[in-house]
Structure formats: structure tokens, C-alpha cells
Chain A
Amino acid sequence: MKLNELTIKEAVEGLKGKKFSSVEITQACLDQIEKHNSEINAFIAVNEHALDEARRADEIRESDSNSPLLGVPIALKDIYMTKGLRTTAASKVLENYIPQYDATVVRKLKDAGAVILGKLNHDAWAHGASGENSDFGPTKNPWNTDYVPGGSSSGSAAAVALNMTIAASGTDTGGSIRQPASFTNTVGLKPTYGLVSRYGIIAMASSLDSIGHLTKTVEDCAIYLNVTAGNDPMDATITKNRIPNYLEDLNKGVGGIKIGMPKEYLGSGLDPRIKENIEKVIKKFGELGAEMVEISLPHTEYGLACYYIIQPAEVSSNLARYDGIRYGYDRSYFGDEAVRRIILGTFTLSSGYYEAYYKKAMQVRTLIRQDFEKAFEKVDAIISPVSPTPPWKLGEKVDDPLKMYLSDAYTVIANLAGIPGLAVPSGFIQHQTFGAGFIGDLPRSDRGLPTGFQILGPQFSEKLLFRIGHAFEQTQERRICEI
């Protein structure tokens, strides 16, 4: 196996056992980036000091081997502030912005010894579900470059899927980690709101933003969360709870665990291939000894409408500071999607409309939260599809924002409720062949496109989600993406 294909766990073990050096893994990742980035466009910038950092990690290794990520190369979505390293939010507005400080999570990752490979592409300001809203060009799905990798954490998903990095950070405001993870055969975690610090990460919609990551395995996801979770004096919304060791219950299996299936999630609008896939997942959990229970989340149908009121409202306020007076370029540099959300949000917050829109949406949000509270009285966790459809072709939905928004239907609910969601790969599904098209015209079609499902749990139940996800993952074969 090539070094860039390692998981975090394998990398840490190998580094500890001196089987290879951080410089070697880092070089392998950089080579892979060099080889494929021009086509995939996952990275906006590569950190030119990455090898120096790896060298330093190898030196430190001589005296300290307790740092959990020492020498492990990772990459960051380009809305994480990195001191001295350009951070663009994938927007022309911040094309030349060099941050003065590190985000709390970046500092925690650095303290844990991680090597920063570079900054990853995404939909500008994290607005989008396909990666196509980036001002630095769209990212392509490495499993089939005609297709989108999902978004907004498009570069994170593509880079992890194609082994350009060992793991990557992301942000999830309405599905921006889970959906691209499910489109690229990677594992994505949206943590509980308030578990991981938002300080130093460009805000999209502050009451919904969750700071998570994408990895190659569920276990890696837990290792990474062990580093990023927990108290931060710079974020007033962070939990004061004691942070557990997220690896603790990983191998306990799902025997006796009650898993709910919301009946509303398998209704109309769901692509039959996704439905078929999720039914297989349900069956598998049954075989693993979990107790599958049908539940109801009656307010799900209002989730999307509620989300597309609250989110643009907060976006309109959060983007106000980018006026070009102190840093960055002026407002004429905002792309269409940002402008769309600024206008929507400004409208719904305007006097005379606030009660009808924002306030009402906040009330619906409470109902959605209560749906989950009731559900979690009956079950330990819930599983559902991530995206109602498989990945779509680049350009397919660019001109239809509403269609693009609909792809968030299953994911926004967790953000509205503030609960954690873990996206786990559940295999590959075949393309639809259109009309008289020849299979031979679709060079990678025989490989199919990845899909995944999500596990939702009560607030701060990440340990349980990892346990359930890991149990399922053990039944699957890991596939290496090759171009």
C-alpha cells in the first residue's frame, strides 16, 4: 500500500514503529496532489512549508511520541483561518487574505502534531451542495470526473477519496460534510452543535455551523474528534461537558442497540437506487443484532423551508463585514449564490417580514428539535439516507438553485436540531444509462458512484455513532480510488 493511502490509525502506528517517516508520508501526499490536482481541483493552495513541518515532526518524534497526530498530514477546508497562510473562503472577495491568527481547531491540530498539507476548495463561503460555486473552479468527483463530489466541502471529500491527504477538515451547516462524504465513499462527521469550536472558521450561518471532518474510516473520524472536541474560551456556544475518549466503545458492536428508521425519510422524492441501498443497510444492521424500529419525525417536511429561512438570514448578517474597507475586495466580488442568500436573508429579516419568516422558522425549528427528543426516548440512534439522489453531473443543477437546495432535504434536519450526524459509505450504485447510450461511452461507469447513509443520535452521542458506524464499516470492503 502506498503511504498516501494510509488511514490516520495506520499512519500513527507506522510512524511510532518507525516504519516510515512523516516526510515520506507527506511527500507521498504531495506527489498525489501534484499528479491529480490539476484535474480534480481539490486544493486551492498547497502549504509550501508542509515538508518542513513533516521534518520537524520527525525530529520531535525522537523525544515525544504522545501527540496523537504527530507527523500525520491533513488538509483544511479553506475557510479555516491559518495564520500566515492565505485563506480565501473560495471567494474572490478574500483572494489575497492572509489571516492574523489560527482557528482554535487549527491550533489544536497543530498542537497534536498534524502536518498541514494545504487549503481545500469548496463552494464559496460554504454555499452549495456540489462544489461548483467555488470562485476557484469546481472540484471533480475522483470516482468519476464527470460528476460532482458534493458540497460544500467538495475539496475535502475529493482529497480524502483520492488519497491526496490522510484526512481533511470540513464544515457542515446543512449537510456540507455528510453529503460530499456520501458522494465520495468517505466518512464524514457533523458533530453536535457546540462540541467543536467555531472560533476562527469563517461563519456561514452561526446557529447551524458545525465543525467536522472527513476521513477514510470511522475509527479515524473518532481519532480526529478526540483532538478537536471540547472547551474553548473563545467560543461562547461551546459545551463545558467533559469530553470522552471517542474510541472507547468503537468495537462494542450494535447488539441490543435500538435504531430508528424515520418513515418520512423513505417517501417520495427519494431516488429508488438510494432507497434500495438504505434498505440493504437496514437489513445489515438487523443481521448485526441491532433492533430496528420504525419511528416518525413528523416535522421533517418543514425542515428544508425552515432551513432556507434561518440560514440565509444569518448569512446576510455574517457576510456584512466583507465590505472591502479593512481587508479583501469589495462586495461586487461576491458570486451569484452569496448574493442570492444575502438578498433572501435581508428580506426575511426586514421589519414587517421578520415575524412571518424568521420568527416562524425558529418556532418550526423548536418543533423539529422536539421531534428528535421524542424519537430518542424510543431509540438510541436513527439512520437515514444522506442525499435523496446519487451524485449528479457537473453543470446539471447549476442553473436551478431550488433543485440544488432540495438535495439538502435529509441533512439540514440535524443542523436545525443541533444533533450529531455521521455519514458512512454504504457501497456503490450504478448510473442510470440514458436512452441508447453505450456503456463504453462511460469509461468509469462500471465502477458505479459511491453512496452513503447517515447515523443521527442525541446531542453529544458521537461515541455511540462511531460504534454503530464502525460495526457497519466492518461488513464493507475498503475500496481505493484510482484514476
Chain B
Amino acid sequence: MKYKPVIGLETHIELKTKSKMFCACSADYSGREPNTHVCPVCLGLPGTLPIPNKTAIEWCIKIALSLNCNVSNISKFDRKNYFYPDLPKGYQISQYDEPFGLAGWIQLKDKRIRIRRVHMEEDTAKLTHQFGTQNSKLKTQNFSLIDFNRSGVPLVEIVTEPDFENAGEVTEYLQKLQQIVRYLDVSNADMEKGDMRLEPNISLAVSEQGLAVGNKSQQPKAKSQLPPYKVEVKNINSFRFVAKAIEEEIVRQSEILDKGETPLQETRGWDENKNTTVSQRTKEEAHDYRYFPEPDIPPIRFADSQISNIKSQIPELPDSKRERFVREYAIPVYDAEILVRERSDADYFEQTVKDGKKHNLTPKQVANYIINKKPNIEKTVPAELVELILVTQETKELDKEELEHAIELVLEENPKAVEDYKKGKTQVLGFLIGKVRTLLPPNSSSEGIRELIEQSLK
């Protein structure tokens, strides 16, 4: 490829605190009657003032620390001024030059993605656009409804450096990020509910191979210099769409660059129906947010002891847990990775291993069972699971001999089927499996029967 994609990502994560960021209203708006979780503060009525939510700030710092950020002893909120009907104050309370977290990273399999900043802000209200149709009573009127239940819900924004080179890396990063915030138990990170909103920015640098093809003297050094433009794709709510949007953008921008032109610096949106990005705003129309320190909230100060106290509340995160599982339980990395995806699964695994120890169950046996059988961990306590595993282990051991014996018997009794199979009529396999099963105890699993028959028929 002639061009090297330069991709950065902004992720908004909604926290699941009980109350909103700056008032006492419930932050749980999902499925609620519109405009029922509101008060003068989150409606931005005249005279109201924000009171910062301490828990939300602590959770934001928790995220920042988990992403290996520096957390300084002093921070502040700023006003981001812009007009939009979902923003009742005409400004969003956010953080500008002193965010809670700075300069962290997330380790992917093959590379490290640098985190530029982690900051705290408030969500906007939710707009629903109604378009009058021919049949509707409102056929001439298009209108928008505003639901302020979401207004003021705490949001954490995580901004990376432009370190990604393809959609795959972005997906891997997002999965890790989602796991981390779920481990911290600070957000449900449910994409469908809009708990996580994604904004990739994509541009293409002329790569070194490209340089060889192009005019050397005129091209900038691709490695050290960022492209002279940047395309931002706004508010995408699924990992899949982010990947698609990135791939689409790479194609679109390549075509423009191929023509010797430079893509416009602009903000684009993801059109789900057309499977493509569409222009929303060009550089000329870009906002000047006129940031200034929020005068209604004094600077936030943290003693080192407070920061280390927050740090001490961070649980073991997926990466270290996976490494420990491999080390401590001698299970394959692949298994460990599946087990640590959800903290509850990981905890369940460990408890089951502990309970299974006295019955001589190995961690690998427990891992196999959990990964393959996917037991309902809410209904089956670890001790019960140990019993279940033991039962299957017993039957399995029995099976081994019995199964071989049964297969031998069935093959002897059905020479025609065997012959057919050898001629290529593989569908007789099902018939043979059925026959074998009739010779086995009723509750035994059919796992491995097919393979064993096939082996015997070779």
C-alpha cells in the first residue's frame, strides 16, 4: 500500500454512578419516561450552579490510573462553549488543559497505544428528530424532541495518540478498554445503550514504499510527520462500524490522494444504511469552543494519599490476571484469555479451581468445562460446578473403553455401511453414530464418537 494510515481514537464512556455529574438526579435514564430525571440544574435553568459528583471524579481517576496515566494533584473543570439544542447551558462543563489523566498507554498484542488524556465531562440531552410524513397529521412539520434525562450524566473521554495503523488494532484496543472499565465496575460499557461512543480520526501518510514511487524531493518524511489534514468520524456506536468506517475512509482518502489531491479536513458521520461516511462539517465551519476555566467549580485538589487510595481500589486487570492464570494454573494463554474477558467468569473459574482441588480436579479441567459448556454462573455455584465436572469426568473415563468396544461391535455388525462409507458415502456416519449410542449409557455425551468412528474406518 502506498499510504500509511494514521489513526487516533476518542472514546466517550458513560459512567454508571447513581446520580448525575452536577446534580442529584438519577443518572439511570435507560428506558425511562422522557424528562422525568430532571431538575433545574440539568435543565440549565437560569441561576443554577453545578456541584461536582465526587464518585464520578474518583472513577475517572480510576480509569486514568488503569490506563497508566499520570494523575496530578491539581485539576480543574473548563467550559466548552458551543450552541446546540441538546446543550441547555450553551456550554458543556468539560476539562481542557488540566485533565485528570495524562500520558498513559494500553498494551496491545504487538504494540503499545499511547493515551493522550483522560478527562471528565457531562453528557448532553438526547434529541429525537421527527419528520412529518404524507400520512401523518404533521405532514408539513418536521420537529425535534429533547429528552433531558441524559443531560448531565457523567462521561469520561479517553483520547489516544494517532498510533493505530489499521481497523484491527482499533478493535483490539476497544475490546481491551471495554474490559478494563467493566473490571473497574464504573460503566456497563454497553454499546447498544450508547454507554460507549467512538470517534476515530483518520488520515493517510505517504508511506516509505510510496516515497519510492513518488517524487522523493517533494514528499515529507512519512515517519516523522503527520499528514496535513485529519478526518474525524463522529459518534459511532459499535466496534464493527468503527472498523468499517476506518476501512471506508482509507479507501476514500486513498482515491483522493491518488489523484494528487489532499482530502479535506472535516468531520464526517457514519451512515449506517449506506455503509459509508458522509461529510458533516468542514474546517471552515469548525467550532471555536472558547474554553475557559469553569468559575462555578473551584479547582480540584488531591493529596498523594487520596490518589494512592484510589489506586489501591483498582482490582487486578485483565492483562495481569491472564498472565497470572497462565503462571499459576498452567492453563494455555488462549484459555486464560477467554476466562479473563469478564471479571465474573474469571472469579468463578478461580473459585471453582479452589473448590475442585480436594477432588483432584485440575485447573485445565475446570477451564475446559467453563469454556466449552458455558455454565450459567449465576445459577450454578462453584461447588455445584465441581460436582458436575466430576460426573462428566467419571462418565468420560468409562466411555473411553466402553466406546471403543461399542464402535468395534457396531462396525462388525454393519459391514455394508462400512463399505458404503469407504466408497465415499460419508452420510452413513450418522447411522453408525446412532447405533453406537444405543450401546452406551443413556446420559453419556456424544462428544468424540464421530472422531473415533472415523479413526477406526481409516
Contact = CB atoms under 8 A, between A and B. Distances in A.
A89 B45 CA distance: 13
Interface in A239-281: none
A417 to B, nearest CB: 15
B292 interface: yes
Contact of A201 (B47, B90, B297): B47
Interface string B270-302: 000000000000000000101110011110000
Nearest to A101: B40
A321 B92 CA distance: 11
Contacts of B47: 79, 81, 99, 103, 199-203
Contacts of A323: 83, 90
Contacts of A308: none
Interface residues of A, number: 42
16 contacts: A81-B47, A101-B45, A199-B48, A200-B48, A201-B47, A203-B296, A234-B51, A235-B51, A237-B49, A237-B298, A317-B91, A326-B146, A327-B45, A349-B290, A349-B291, A351-B288
Interface in A190-242: 198-203, 205-207, 233-237
Contacts of B90: 317, 319-321, 323
A326 B49 contact: no
A246 B373 CA distance: 74
Contact of B290 (A99, A234, A317, A321): A317
Centre residue among A99, A236, A354 by max chain B CB count within 10 A? A236
Contact of B81 (A79, A203, A317): A317
A370 interface: no
Q: Which 3 A-B pairs have the closest CB atoms?
A: A320-B90, A207-B295, A349-B290
B60 interface: no
Interface in A101-137: 101, 103
Interface string B40-64: 1101111111111000000000000
Nearest to A201: B47
Given A321-B44, A351-B288, A234 B49 contact: yes
Contacts of A316: 81, 290
B85 interface: yes
A350 B81 CA distance: 10
B83 A94 contact: no
Contacts of A392: none
A53 interface: no
**Among the interface residues A198, A320, A326, which one has the most CB atoms of the partner chain B within 10 A?**
A320
A79 B47 CA distance: 8
A292 B218 CA distance: 75
A100 interface: yes
B88 to A, nearest CB: 6
A332 to B, nearest CB: 15
A358 interface: yes
B49 A321 contact: no
Contacts of B297: 236-237
Nearest to B43: A326
Contacts of B437: none
B79 interface: yes
A97 interface: yes
Contacts of B298: 236-237
B225 to A, nearest CB: 23
A206 B295 contact: yes
A218 B297 CA distance: 32
Interface in A423-441: none
Given A349-B81, A351-B290, 18 more contacts: A79-B47, A99-B45, A200-B47, A203-B296, A206-B296, A234-B49, A236-B49, A237-B49, A237-B297, A314-B295, A317-B81, A317-B90, A320-B81, A320-B91, A323-B90, A349-B291, A349-B292, A350-B288
Contact of B88 (A97, A103, A202, A326): A326
B46 A89 contact: yes
A89 B47 CA distance: 11
Contacts of B45: 99-101, 327
Interface of A: 79, 81, 87, 89, 94, 97, 99-101, 103, 198-203, 205-207, 233-237, 313-314, 316-317, 319-323, 325-327, 346, 349-351, 354, 358
Contacts of B83: 320, 323
Interface in B292-342: 292, 295-298
A206 B50 CA distance: 12
B51 A236 contact: yes
B296 A237 contact: yes
Interface of B: 40-41, 43-52, 79, 81, 83, 85, 88-91, 146, 288, 290-292, 295-298
B46 A236 contact: no
A81 B290 CA distance: 28
A404 B116 CA distance: 47
A319 B89 CA distance: 9
A97 B47 CA distance: 13
Contacts of A354: 290-292
A358 to B, nearest CB: 6
A461 B88 CA distance: 37
A278 to B, nearest CB: 32
A396 B370 CA distance: 86
Contacts of A205: 295
Nearest to A237: B298
A100 B40 contact: yes
Contacts of A327: 45
A236 B44 contact: no
Given A202-B46, A236-B51, A236-B298, A321 B292 contact: no
Contacts of A314: 292, 295
B46 A321 contact: yes
B89 A236 contact: no
A214 to B, nearest CB: 20
Most buried by A among B43, B47, B49, B88: B47
B51 A313 contact: no
Contacts of A350: 288, 290
Nearest to B23: A234
Nearest to B40: A101
Contacts of B146: 326
Q: Which of A201, A319, A351 has the most CB of B within 10 A?
A: A351
A321 B180 CA distance: 37
Contacts of A325: 85
A207 B44 CA distance: 18
Contacts of B51: 233-236
A316 B47 CA distance: 15
B51 to A, nearest CB: 5
A77 to B, nearest CB: 12
A306 to B, nearest CB: 15
Nearest to A313: B292
A446 to B, nearest CB: 44
A207 B77 CA distance: 14
A56 to B, nearest CB: 26
Given A99-B46, A349-B81, A236 B88 contact: no
A198 B292 contact: no
Nearest to B46: A202
Contact of A317 (B40, B49, B288, B292): B292
Given A103-B47, A349-B292, A321 B52 contact: no
B359 to A, nearest CB: 56
A94 B291 CA distance: 27
Contacts of B48: 199-200
Nearest to A320: B90
Contact of B89 (A207, A320, A349): A320
A466 to B, nearest CB: 27
A286 B88 CA distance: 55
Contacts of A97: 46
Nearest to A81: B47
A99 to B, nearest CB: 7
A87 B46 contact: yes
A205 B79 CA distance: 13
Contacts of B49: 198-199, 234-237
A235 B49 CA distance: 6
A321 B88 contact: yes
